[in-house]
C-alpha cells in the first residue's frame, strides 16, 4: 500500500498517555480529522485515466491516534514517487505537508481545552 504517515506521532502518543483519557480521545479525533482531510485533498490531485486509483484512496485506523492514508492499487507508489521512466505525480505528499503545518496547532488548541476544562 502506498501511504503517508505523519511523523512524530509515536513520541506524541507516549507523552499523551500520561494525560487523561479525554486527551487521548481528542488526539485520536484530531489525527483522524487530519487523515480524512489528506484523503479528501489527495483525490483531486490524482491524474485520472480510469479512476481506479482515485477511487481507491482511503484512510484507515492502525492504532491509537494513528491513521494511514493510501491506496492498495499496485501502481499507486509509482504514481506518487515516479520511476526511472516516469516522473512522480504526487497526490499524497502535498496534502500531508499542508496538514502537518496546522496539525500541531490544532492539536495543541484542542488539548488545552481538554486540560483546562478537565
Per-residue confidence (pLDDT) for residue 16, from 0 to 100: 65
Task: Say what the pLDDT of residue 73 is.
Answer: 95
pLDDT at 2: 58
What whole-number distance in Å separates Cα of residue 42 and Cα of residue 65?
20
pLDDT at residue number 96: 95
Q: What is the pLDDT of residues 73-93, one digit of tens each?
A: 999 999 999 999 999 999 999
* Inter-residue contact 31 to 65 (CB < 8 Å): yes
Q: How confident is the model at residue 72, as a pLDDT? A: 95
60 forms beta bridges with 68
Residue with cell 479512476: 51
**In this predicted structure, what is the pLDDT of residue 55?**
96
pTM greater than 0.85 (yes/no): no
Tell me the torsion sign for CA atoms 102, 108, 110, 113: negative
Domain ranges of the chain: 2-117
pLDDT of residue 8: 76
Q: Are 95 and 59 in contact (CB under 8 A)?
A: no
Residues 58, 21: Cα–Cα separation, whole Å = 27
> What is the pLDDT at residue 94?
96
**16: its cell numbers:** 499523551
For the sheet containing 2-4, what is the strand order? 2-4, 66-71, 58-63
Sites in the chain below the pLDDT cut of 50? none
Which residue, 13, 9, 6, is CA-closest to 68? 6
Amino acid at each position: 500500500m502506498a501511504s503517508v504517515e505523519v511523523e512524530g506521532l509515536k513520541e506524541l502518543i507516549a507523552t499523551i498517555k500520561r494525560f487523561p483519557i479525554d486527551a487521548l480521545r481528542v488526539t485520536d479525533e484530531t489525527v483522524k480529522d487530519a487523515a480524512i482531510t489528506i484523503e479528501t485533498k489527495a483525490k483531486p490531485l490524482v491524474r485520472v485515466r480510469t479512476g481506479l486509483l482515485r477511487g481507491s484512496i482511503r484512510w484507515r485506523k492502525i492504532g491509537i491516534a494513528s491513521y494511514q492514508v493510501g491506496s492498495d492499487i499496485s501502481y499507486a507508489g509509482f504514481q506518487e514517487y515516479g520511476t526511472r521512466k516516469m516522473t512522480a505525480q504526487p497526490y499524497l505528499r502535498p496534502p500531508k505537508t499542508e496538514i502537518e503545518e496546522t496539525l500541531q496547532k490544532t492539536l495543541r488548541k484542542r488539548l488545552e481545552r481538554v486540560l483546562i476544562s478537565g
